[in-house]
Structure 1
Amino acid sequence: MIIIKNPKHGNVVLMPQTIEHYESELTSLLSNERYDEAVDILRYLMGFSDVDSERRMEWEQLLAWLYMMYPELQQTSQLGIEDDARAEAELRKQLLGDKWSAESASVLELLHTMEHPSSVDKQLITLDKLAHVGGNQVIHGIRKWLVSREMHPLLQFKALQALKLAGDFEYISIIRSGSEILVNPSDCPLDSSEIPAGIEHIFQTIDHVCEVAEPMIGEFASQMQWDVIATSYGTSLYKAMSNVLNEQEAAVWASALHALLASHIYGGTQVEQIRELYEIVSYPIEEWMDVYQKCRVFL
């Protein structure tokens, strides 16, 4: 996942799927010649830092093209240059809803979209919007939806992030694999500073080992980190990874994830070679295989 921490927007979590959904929405707006709304979304997205440089360049080129073809759009967006704070408030009102109108029809519409979506993609975008609206109505609506049935872990995680951003820190029971688990939105990571130290240690170990030996695996692992967090959050697996304390434990989990990715990418893997890379050849193979089997839930 891409976690974007921006001084303008505050701490906001954007997953790769969410960015893709915004880009899909851009495509739809452009095809329907709704260029002013497309400009708003582009300016909103470009307000975040730490975005992939290639993607940012594509956004900049698209925005430049729109300004060239439709100069009046640049005049409209000039507000952001002359009064950045006011422009930010106006843009957020347009894209995410007015935080001070939490009882408005627009919020009811967002909640309805979340409960009766046309796709999972639409739910993710809607949750991202609701997270910035806040208010008791939003919190109540998301909590009611979360406990209503079992749903994909990614949606559950996104909803918990939305609750945390909306100011809800009460425990809630959600259904995962047919069983109820008790979670607190306040413990749900929003950015890299909130990732449990054990999980961070595991992925740092993969990055260190793969930097020279397996750069492709390292790149995939980096992209996988937030998917692992979202998929396991609230489970015993998440707790086990969070509680990793030392180098050997981190190496065991890291090598298991490495083997999983290698099997997925190459169609097979040499377990002993991977164990050698992580210097855990003496670690009991039966215990290592147990960790590997637990990690299979991630792919």
Structure 2
Amino acid sequence: MIIITDPSINNLILFPKTEQYYEEELTRFLQTEQYSDALQLLTFLLQFPTVDPHKAEQWEALRNWLYTMYPESMFAMTPMEEDPEEESDLLRQYIQEKTTDDGTFALKLLNMLNDGTLEQQVNALEQLAFIDQSGVSERVKEWLCEKPRHPHIQFKALQALKQMGERGFIEFPKNGEKILVEIEETPLCPEDFPSRIRDMIRRVGDISEISQPDFVYFAKQTWQEFLAYAYGTSIYTDLQKAEEGAVDVWASALHAILQEKLFGAVNREELLDNYGIVDSMKLQWKRANLVLQTFVKQFNPDPS
């Protein structure tokens, strides 16, 4: 999960329905021990000046508690305004200080892959990516190919393998099928994805920046989670090969689903008109909408 911090948010209002959804997400993160995601979400929410002071005090206390109890979660936080290279260098230095010749630290991280929570597995992979020891990357490959895992953690494993310097194809089970990907092609950050795919989320920002300026923050987070879910599958292949008109199709389909989830309703005809979706594009739009609905229901179920 990536939450963007931005001083301009001081002029925004956190709508009640949106606040409720974010609180449900926060609860889910805490229940599944995804503490770095919880920290990022709390940091994002505390930027809104219109939040009830008592609630803001609770959020601040929870954030401080997470910082104290789970300081390692800060290494998984990647705020967009920081220099990624500088952050990577700091993490590399931290790992080198922890790593010993006997391989104890690497073994601890590898064991965490098998026994840890999703959050712990993410932290383990992000640290393993900077360990230069014989056999570590092979163990990560074996773990990835062993059995189906959450798409988010599979994508993290591919990123770690790429950072370790691994090359070539790897096959592993994902979303009910066997997929084959080239490790060195794995995007390490949002900017590494093809321009057409990046344009899809930019389009959401263009449409929503006036009427719903806080909407794009959640849209970007969801889009990155969806790309991890789709990566290596036929869905991702279709996104890569998409023609120019598909930018509006996918952007509007994502916008419609998130608007309904956040605000409880969506004026579909008005939304399609805003994105310039004409009759000849509506079949393609329905297919994109169905794919996104399947993703959202599978990984962000409705708590009601």
TM (normalized to structure 2)? 0.69
Instruction: State the Cα deviation string for residues 68-89 of structure 1 (Å, max 9, x = none).
Output: xxxxxxxxxxxxxxxxxx9987
Tell me the equivalent position of 1:107. 106
| Residues 264 and 241 of structure 1, relative CA distance in 2, 3 Å threshold | same
- Checking the alignment, whether the CA contact within 8 Å between 1:183 and 1:234 is kept in structure 2 is yes
Pick closer, same or farther for the CA change 1:91–1:25 going to 2, 3 Å: farther
Partners in 2 of 1:220 and 1:172 — Cα distance? Answer: 32
Task: Tell me the equivalent position of 2:51.
Answer: none
Rounded Cα–Cα distance in structure 2 between residues aligned with 1:133 and 1:279: 49
Q: Which residue of 2 aligns with 1:145?
A: 143
Asked whether the equivalents of residues 197 and 242 of structure 1 are also in contact (C-alpha less than 8 Å), the reply is no
Q: Of the candidates 189, 193, 205, which is equivalent to residue 191 of structure 1?
A: 189
Q: How many Å apart are 1:177 and its aligned residue?
A: 2.4
Offset, 1:218: 2.2
For residues 162-188 of structure 1, give each alpha carbon's deviation from its aligned partner in whole angstroms, at most 9, with x where no partner exists. Answer: 101111112111111221010122111
* Alpha-carbon distance in structure 1 between the residues aligned to 2:254 and 2:79: 30
Say if 1:134 and 1:165, in contact at 8 Å, map to a contact too: no
1:93 pairs with one of 77, 81, 96: 96
Could you tell me whether the CA contact under 8 Å between 1:154 and 1:230 is conserved in 2? yes
Q: Contact between 1:124 and 1:155, CA under 8 Å: does it hold in 2?
A: yes
Residue identity in the other structure for 1:112: N
Which stretch of structure 1 is more off in the superposition, 108-117 or 22-31?
22-31
**Counterpart position of 1:79:** none
CA distance in 2: counterparts of 1:110 and 1:196, whole angstroms: 32
Distance between the aligned counterparts of 1:193 and 1:145, measured in 2? 28
Q: Is the 8 A contact 2:125 2:156 kept in 1?
A: yes
Give the Cα separation in 1 of the matches to 2:143 and 2:196.
Answer: 31
Q: Secondary structure of the equivalent of 2:280?
A: coil
Q: Distance in 1 between matches of 2:250 and 2:92?
A: 44
Q: Give 1:197 shift.
A: 1.4
User: What is the number of residues matched between the two proteins?
Assistant: 242
Distance, in Å, in 1 between the alignment partners of 2:3 and 2:132 is 20
Task: Specify which of 70, 81, 104 is matched with residue 50 of structure 1.
Answer: 81
| Alignment partner of 1:296 is 2:304 | no
Q: Percent identity, aligned pairs only? A: 27
SS of the equivalent of 1:133 reads coil
Relative to structure 1, the CA distance from residue 224 to residue 177 in structure 2 (aligned partners, 3 Å threshold; closer, same or farther) is closer
Choose 1 or 2 for highest CA Rg: 1
Whole-angstrom distance in 2 between the partners of 1:144 and 1:152: 16
Match of residue 177 from structure 1 = 175
**Distance of aligned partners of 1:228 and 1:107 in 2 relative to their CA distance in 1, 3 Å threshold:** same
Q: Counterpart in 2 of 1:7?
A: none
Which deviations, in whole Å up to 9, do the C-alpha atoms of 1:90-121 show, x marking residues without a partner?
53334xx43x84x612211211111222x111
1:251 aligns with 2:248: yes
Structure 1: gaps of 5 or more residues: 5-15, 33-37, 53-85
Determine if the alignment matches structure 1 residue 232 to structure 2 residue 230.
yes
Q: What is the alpha-carbon distance in structure 1 between the residues aligned to residue 77 and residue 282 of structure 2?
A: 48
Could you tell me how far 1:27 is from its partner in structure 2?
Answer: 4.5
Q: Distance in 1 between matches of 2:92 and 2:177?
A: 42
Q: Distance in 1 between matches of 2:278 and 2:239?
A: 20
Task: Classify 1:191/1:177 alpha carbon distance in 2 versus 1 (closer, same or farther; 3 Å).
Answer: closer
Give the letter aligned to residue 162 of structure 1. Answer: A
Structure 2 gaps, min length 5: 5-28, 41-61, 84-88, 297-304
CA distance in 2, matches of 1:87, 1:177: 35
